[in-house]
């Protein structure tokens, strides 16, 4: 069971990064109806994978790995949680913007965006990706026992 949950954790992490990369590629210039729908699908996959990643991660911590006493005495683990929360917070503005397009899309109209909004969304996605790189660093540190104070 441990291997299955580790596998799921990794697959979900890759799905999250892939969805975020797709958003970054699609959010530019003029956003057509089809592109907007793809962005909404990518963002839904991003959100679902983030939630499932969190659930599977905590199940691993509580039931299938070293236990909460170990992980909550690990600086890299705590850093991963903080960074994951930061990624979630950074994703609020893009997601809310994407969801605001639904009415226009249902009426067959392209979303109208100020270039500054597109620039802001792209910048936030870049910040999310940077945080994810640091999450991977923290995971590597955890795997080596670096930063454990128990």
pLDDT digits 0-9 by tens, 2-32: 999 999 999 999 999 999 999 999 999 889 9
Query: What is the domain partition of the chain in residue ranges?
Result: 2-143
For residues 143-148, give the mean pLDDT.
Answer: 91
| Of 143 and 48, more confident | 48
Which residues lie across from 148 on neighbouring strands? 74
pTM: 0.93
Q: What is the pLDDT of residue 90?
A: 98
- Is 150 a residue whose pLDDT tops 80? no
Query: Helix, strand or coil for residue 109?
Result: coil
Task: Give percent of the chain with pLDDT exceeding 90.
Answer: 89
pLDDT in tens, 44-67: 999 999 999 999 999 999 998 888
Token readout for 50 is 């983030």
Gyration radius (Cα) of the chain, Å: 18
* Sign of CA pseudo-dihedral 90, 48, 54, 25: negative
For 105, residues 6+ apart whose C-beta sits below 8 A from its C-beta are: 33, 36, 37, 40, 111
């Amino acid at each position: 069971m441990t291997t299955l949950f580790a596998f799921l954790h990794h697959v979900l992490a890759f799905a999250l990064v892939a969805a975020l990369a797709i958003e970054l590629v699609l959010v530019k210039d003029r956003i057509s109806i089809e592109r907007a729908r793809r962005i909404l699908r990518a963002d839904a996959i991003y959100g679902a994978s983030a939630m499932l990643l969190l659930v599977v991660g905590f199940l691993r911590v509580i039931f299938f790995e070293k236990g909460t006493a170990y992980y909550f005495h690990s600086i890299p683990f705590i850093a991963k949680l903080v960074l994951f929360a930061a990624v979630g917070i950074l994703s609020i503005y893009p997601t809310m913007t994407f969801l605001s397009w639904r009415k226009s899309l249902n009426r067959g109209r392209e979303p109208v965006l100020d270039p500054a909004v597109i620039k802001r969304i792209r910048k936030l996605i870049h910040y999310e990706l940077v945080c994810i790189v640091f999450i991977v660093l923290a995971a590597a540190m955890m795997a080596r026992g670096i930063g454990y104070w128990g």
